[in-house]
Amino acid sequence: MSMLSPEEIKRYSRHIVLRGVGGDGQQRLKSARVLVVGAGGLGSPAIAYLAAAGVGTLGVVDHDTVSLSNLQRQIIHRSDAIGTSKAESAAGFVAGLNDTVAFVSHVERVGTDNAAGLVAGYDYVLDGTDNFGTRAIVAAAAQAAGVPLVSGAVSMFDGQVTVFMPGGRTFRDLYPDTPDEADLPACEVVGVLGAVTGVIGTLMAMEAIKLITGIGEPLVGRLLLYDGRAARFTELGY
């Protein structure tokens, strides 16, 4: 396990004095390799907080480019990044926030042909994609690789997050049937409140940090639902 430099001890001082994290927990963060699938509404806050927390290696996979309509919720991207790769834009954000993080950019679309290769070499995966088929592919790859997966989703004013652990309940336990795409309208059609993606994406980062450091009780076998209009969280077992 790599030691913390004097600069890192100062940077992460609020973690190091925090009971339950401390220097050991910060070293675990520094040694962790985390893959974030999607640098959009959910990926943005997850990437920001994982980078700020000192995750040693942060991989981001996204084939898309930044557009003007993204900026309402995808907070790591800037107006001057419009038209550029989201993964490369994320790299610039992370470098500006914390240059001790090793960033790996994967500018490609996730599919059955490359999901296993993308997951390989990472200790944890966070999936913030907005397509059910892609989410199922990522979940299957993480399960096959024995890698914990933090999965989040949002729509309109609502969101959800859960954690799938190797050998535990799976994505298919939560979603035994593949829904019709017509029943899952994209945010381009129904909209999404930007701050909702911030709530869920930050919760995803929190779950990843808990898994890495060993603190608390992860959302394993539990689906946490957020109703933004009612300001209410509900938990469901599966």
pLDDT tens-digit series, residues 192-229: 999 999 999 999 999 999 999 999 999 999 999 999 99
pLDDT of residue 189: 79
Please, where are the H alpha helices in 65-161?
86-97, 115-119, 132-145
pLDDT of residue 116: 97
- Mean pLDDT for 88-106 is 98
The per-residue pLDDT of the chain, averaged, comes to 95
CB 187 within 8 A of CB 200: no
Say which of 18, 82, 184, 187 is annotated catalytic. 187
| Burial zone of 136 (CB within 10 Å; 0-12 exposed, 13-18 middle, 19+ buried) | middle
DSSP SS3 for 90:
helix
pLDDT of residue 185: 66
Task: Flag whether pLDDT at 149 surpasses 80.
Answer: yes
The contacts of residue 72 (CB under 8 Å, 6+ apart) are 194
- Mean pLDDT for 3-12 is 95
Domains observed in the chain: 32-237 (3.40.50.720)
Considering the entire predicted model, what is its pTM? 0.95
pLDDT of residue 182: 62
d(C-alpha 38, C-alpha 202), whole Å: 14
Using N-to-C axis directions, what is the helix angle for 194-213 and 22-31, rounded to 10°? 110
pLDDT tens-digit series, residues 119-143: 999 999 999 999 999 999 999 999 9
pLDDT tens-digit series, residues 36-70: 999 999 999 999 999 999 999 999 999 999 999 99
DSSP SS3 for 87:
helix
Task: Flag whether pLDDT at 28 surpasses 80.
Answer: yes
Q: Has 187 been annotated as catalytic? A: yes
| Sheet of 102-106, strands arranged across | 102-106, 57-61, 33-37, 124-127, 149-155, 158-164, 222-227, 232-237
pLDDT of residue 80: 97
pLDDT of residue 188: 74
d(C-alpha 213, C-alpha 224), whole Å: 21
Confidence of residue 184 (pLDDT cuts 50, 70, 90): low
